[in-house]
Amino acid sequence: EQFSLKLDTPAYKGTLSINTGLFINGQWLKSVDPEKLDVVNPATGKIITSVEGGCSKDIDIAVDVAEKAYKTTWGLKVPGSTRGQMLLNLAKLIEKNTDELAALEALNCGKPFGQAQQEIAGCIKEFKYYAGWADKIHGKTIETTENKMAYTRHEPYGVVAAIIPWNGPLTMLSWKVAPALAAGNTIIVKPSELTPLSALKFASLVNEAGIPPGVINIVNGTGPAVGEAMAYHPRIRKLAFTGSTLTGRRIQEASAKSNLKVVTLELGGKSPNIIFDDANLEQAIKWASLGILLLAEIFLQCKYGLSMLRRLSDFWFAAAAHYLQQNTGDPFSGKALHGPQMSSVQFDRIMGYINSGKTDGAHVVSGGERDGNEGYFIKPTIFTEVKPSMKIAQEEIFGPVGVVMKFKTEEEVIEMANNTTYGLACGIFTENVSRAIRVAHALEAGTAWINNYHTVETMVPFGGYKQSGIGREQGEYALENYTQVKAVHINI
């Protein structure tokens, strides 16, 4: 089935057009046991269209074709340079379709169109970067004993899978598909049932890029119907997951109970942003405000904005929040920096946290309520007078809510920041280089940002400590996720 929608907005004018079926073996197929998945526009709360959701039998079919492709038209049968060229073709096609892909993200996820365009630019970079790696994945030669030597090969797993969340549909897809293919694997992708549209458009580019049938398969569906079938599948050798810690646990359990498939997990976070009294306050506030907004929509929850000398008074935060509120609005307005929350469930969750902060006695400097009557908009909210024991200080909110706590010493703030089960990232604002490095090393997190917040680069690894995840995506490190090492011993 075809979905088509003409848009005439300040940010985007054009027609969106996608196939809503399952993309398996380079073809659009119907599910063996279809489930209708309604897709909602979070800016209005209204249904845009519905797409076909699959079932476990569709995953069996996808695994069969992906396995066949791996053995015949992909994998190590194809030179790395050829695989790289196809990834480059795909990057060019994504580039050509940037605006339509960005419009689908804006429509389906509520991302402001300009931000969505930047995310698509990130996806293009991803495919280009890993295209370059495809013919540079080498092993080592190891001298052993007299008349003997060994060498290593970095071989693909075969059929791998990816399960994607709603907050970065194409970004998270490209973080997984690009390195998986560069290393020679074939892949089955399940987008979030809430945000399936952009992945379907992406699927329509795969054949044109010259990528053989069965190498990339996109199967929409719910977690229970399709995600679990992937997690338990005995012939999927590796699974990359981004989403909540709860689902991450289930996926690891499924791996343990099925075939011990390798699992990498990118999970939740509660990432402190520590502002010391000697920080460049203008910069610190700029990044902290952006963190509250962007991270709400991307990966992290900005947990602390901290000050030793109370220089970060309520005034600063009120000004920041006011700025954010001015820029919250329709993703297609061409002006908004911040759109609606993704779903009614997410909206209710975030409002629940805002209410719990109020009940626990935290002080609302700004926001603290819904924005307008239509869709899932929430006013960017900042709490001060927060105690570490409060729920808003402990749990991941995953919404535009900043929680400000104060501290006196470096030792104290390190302890506060590490006192969480998460360890995704942290920010440190100070002009004292030694302190910045000392604190960055002392914090239990996969990423430390010094005098910036939420910088993510294709060539730099990203992933969590503790219950924020296992394994690294991005950069050379991601290739380790998609290859296994074989040692070959030779008697000379």
Can you give the binding site for ligand NAD, defined by CB under 6 A? Answer: 163-168, 190, 192-193, 222-223, 227-228, 231, 242-244, 247, 250-251, 266-269, 299, 396, 398, 424, 464, 468-469
Which residue's CB is nearer to ligand NAD, number 331 or number 399?
399
* 148-156 β-sheet, strand order: 141-143, 148-156, 483-491
Cβ at position 18, least distance to ligand NAD in Å: 18
**Helix axis angle, 410-418 relative to 433-442, nearest 10°?**
30
d(CA 331, CA 10): 10
Among 52, 100, 126, 266, which one carries the catalytic annotation?
266
Helix (H) or strand (E) holding 445: none
Least gap, CB of 422 to ligand NAD (angstroms):
9
- Which residues on adjacent β-strands are paired with residue 473? 462
Which of 311, 241, 260 lies closest to 282 in space, CA to CA? 311
Nearer to ligand NAD (CB atom), residue 75 or residue 469: 469
Q: What's the CA gap between 192 and 245, in Å, rounded?
A: 15
Q: If residue 443 lies in a helix (H) or strand (E), which one and from where to where?
A: none
Any idea what the Cα angle at residue 117 is, between residues 113 and 120, rounded to 5°? 135
- Least distance in Å: CB of 54 to ligand NAD? 12
Choice between 163 and 215, CB closer to ligand NAD? 163
Smaller CB separation from ligand NAD, 156 or 243: 243
Contacts of 133 (CB under 8 A, 6+ apart): 84, 179, 182, 476, 479
Distance from the Cα of residue 182 to its chain's centroid:
19
- The nearer residue to ligand NAD, 275 or 296, going by C-beta atoms, is 296
Of residues 132, 142, 207, 197, the one with CA closest to residue 170: 197
Is 412 part of the annotated catalytic residue set?
Answer: no
Q: Take residue 473 and report the two structure tokens written for it.
A: 């995506």
Q: How far is the CB of 409 from ligand NAD (least distance, A)?
A: 30
Residue 454 CA to residue 291 CA, distance in Å, equals 7
- What one-character-per-residue DSSP string does 36-86 give? EEEEEETTTTEEEEEEEE--HHHHHHHHHHHHHHHHHTSGGGS-HHHHHHH
Smallest distance, ligand NAD to C-beta of residue 299, A: 4
User: To the nearest whole angstrom, how small is the minimum distance from the Cβ of residue 229 to ligand NAD?
Assistant: 8
Instruction: Give the nearer residue to ligand NAD in terms of CB position, either 212 or 469.
Output: 469
Closer to ligand NAD by Cβ: residue 289 or 447: 447
Shortest CB 134 distance to ligand NAD, Å: 24
For residue 438, the surrounding DSSP H or E stretch is: helix 433-442
For residue 162, give the H/E element and its range. strand 159-163
Question: Whole-number minimum distance, CB 330 to ligand NAD, in Å?
Answer: 23
DSSP 237: -
Which one, 223 or 334, has the nearer CB to ligand NAD? 223
372: left (phi over 0), alpha (psi -120 to 50) or beta: left
Catalytic residues: 266
